Amino acid sequence: ALQNEKGSSLTSTGALAVRSGAKTGRSPKDKRVVAEPTSEANVWWGPVNIKMSESSFMVNRERAIDYLNVQDRIYVVDSYAGHDATTGRLAVRVVCSRAYHALFMHNMLVRPTEADDDFEPDCIIFNAGCFPANRYIEGMTSSCSVDLHLGRYSKRFQRSWAEFVILGTQYAGEMKKGVLTLMMYKMPLAGLLPLHSSANEDADGNVTVFFGLSGTGKTTLSADPRRMLIGDDEHVWTDTGLFNIEGGCYAKCVGLTEEKEPEIFRAIRFGAVVENVAVDDKRAIDYDDVSITENTRCAYPLEYIPNSKLPAIGGHPNHVILLTCDGYGVLPPVSKLTREQVIYHFISGYTSKMAGTEEGITKPVAAFSACYGQPFLVWHPVKYAVMLAERLEKHKATAWLLNTGWLGGAKGRRCPLKYTRAMVDAIHSGALGAAEFAPDSVFGVMTPKSCPGVPSELLDPAKSWADPAEFHATQSELASLFTKNFEKYKSEVADDVCKQGPKVT
């Protein structure tokens, strides 16, 4: 990258600083899935998975390959999605024109060992993101296109594989999330549950899974120095336990300090990639500078975290924590969920989109993302939610809703990280499970009356508001949004799940 990419440089920590060009976040509206015979009946078609014809895909594929063929230098990375070689991993080949993209995927996927001498790709990514898509091709809406073909068949090789074609965006996260999308489709076919989640493990082998969208604390809470990190973003729950899909971490950098997140801060060293950060004339990174984007990122290998577990495989989860960042400030900071509530809240996937996560988002906005990863789902959300509930029941795991958002409303303050960590510690120790609970009057979830290390008044969201009337009005407003959002799923879920929605007065 230093030799062949203009503008790349080493920072004072040794990490490679790069720019992704005009696109500094994902472009979900430009994602397309080919409607082809082997998968068409399984795909949840709509605004998440927009249909694309085989002919349009082949035009984009030809355009990408033509671009790659005329480059003086291209990069090929062969790695795996998944640490467990016995169940569910996929072989992924990346072909790209930028060295930083190759290093990024070298960090983010599971690198082959000497024993892996029979590499045959299950997926090929043609990343020609430096070259635009043709906007006049049928189905295109811009010069950016991220296209997935789930069943490309080769007569020459007498086999099928998946293919991604990337045009018009150099944001590296498109490759990472493309692999997750493929796993979201492939794993349920084998009876395995893919999860957009982080996971860690204590010394006794007890595993906790954290679900959540970007900005909810998924990476931060899983990077616990007292526990082994299995992974910070993508996993699969199998019949024998859990494995990490990735070989690295992709952490947000905005506001990063060694004091708050020492493991992530120290992982930004030689071999890591920092994307769209500001670097001064002494090569130091300014983590508070968001002049390029608020979605500054760092990609580093999992082993850069000192307490990471390799290979990244764990047992069946003991606790599952659904993370939300409630910008309205009305959800309890922590609550315990029943089986039906897990399905309801997992399908709802409520959070507040944080600034910089996607283009055009400049302040917190209430959002619902099914299964806490709607842009990456391929099957209908109910399929994933029911599979999750069945596994929780079978393995007797507890489920929690943890709100890392605001106290006292949008104009208040975010829940201090030390209290959020204390709640997680109480879940792990069993102290929170043994507490006295009372149902939330509107959302129905069971909220504890006490938690070690947390002021009791903080556990009741109403007590953080100066004006009780304003609190109840805001609470009703959010409840109405929950109800309206769930209408599109009601016909697909059981009545006892529908009844877990908030009671709007």
Query: CA-CA distance, 56 to 147, in Å (whole number)?
Result: 10
Residue 486, pLDDT above cutoff 90: yes
Residue 356, pLDDT above cutoff 80: no
Residue 493, pLDDT above cutoff 80: yes
What is the band of 491 on the pLDDT scale with cuts at 50, 70, 90? Answer: very high
Query: CA-CA distance, 60 to 137, in Å (whole number)?
Result: 8
Residue 145, pLDDT above cutoff 90: yes
Active-site entry in 63, 176, 297, 336? 297
474 is catalytic: no
391 is catalytic: no
Residue 357, pLDDT above cutoff 50: no
Token pair of 164 as six digits: 């991604």
**Which of 5-9, 331-335, 352-356 has the least mean pLDDT?**
352-356
Averaged pLDDT for residues 386-402:
97
Task: Give, in degrees to the nearest 5, the angle at Cα 121 between 310 and 107.
Answer: 40
Averaged pLDDT for residues 168-174:
97
Residue 153, pLDDT above cutoff 90: no
Task: Give, in degrees to the nearest 5, the angle at Cα 455 between 449 and 457.
Answer: 60
**Which of 73-82, 119-128, 215-224 has the least mean pLDDT?**
215-224
Express each pLDDT in 247-277 by its tens digit.
999 988 999 999 988 989 999 999 999 999 9
Residues counted in the chain:
505
Residue 148, pLDDT above cutoff 70: yes
Query: CA-CA distance, 225 to 367, in Å (whole number)?
Result: 31
Residue with tokens 């009057």, as numbered in its chain: 441
Express each pLDDT in 208-254 by its tens digit.
999 988 778 888 898 888 999 999 999 999 999 999 999 999 988 99
DSSP per-residue letters across 65-111:
HHHHHTSS--EEEEEEE-S-TTTT-EEEEEEES-HHHHHHHHHHSBP
Residue 314, pLDDT above cutoff 70: yes
Active-site entry in 145, 219, 352, 404? 219
Distance of CA 346 to the CA centre of its chain: 14
219 is catalytic: yes
pLDDT of residue 7: 87
233 is catalytic: yes
**What is the percent of the chain with per-residue pLDDT over 90, rounded to a whole number?**
87
Active-site entry in 214, 220, 222, 238? 214
Instruction: Name the β-bridge partners of 141.
Output: none
pLDDT of residue 213: 83
Active-site entry in 83, 196, 345, 353? 196
Active-site entry in 11, 23, 26, 149? 26
pLDDT of residue 363: 53
Residue 108, pLDDT above cutoff 60: yes
What is the band of 358 on the pLDDT scale with cuts at 50, 70, 90? Answer: low
Averaged pLDDT for residues 461-470:
94
Active-site entry in 32, 61, 93, 218? 218
DSSP 468: H
pLDDT of residue 360: 57
What is the band of 171 on the pLDDT scale with cuts at 50, 70, 90? Answer: very high
186 is catalytic: no
Active-site entry in 30, 147, 232, 233? 233
3-state secondary structure 438-463: EECCCCCCEEECCECCECHHHHCHHH
Express each pLDDT in 5-45 by its tens digit.
988 999 999 999 999 999 999 999 999 999 999 999 999 99
Query: CA-CA distance, 498 to 505, in Å (whole number)?
Result: 17
Averaged pLDDT for residues 372-387:
96
Kindly report the average pLDDT of the chain as a whole number: 94
Residue 355, pLDDT above cutoff 60: no
What are residue 96's phi and psi, to 5 degrees? -145, 165
CB atoms within 10 A of CB 265: 18
Averaged pLDDT for residues 145-163:
91
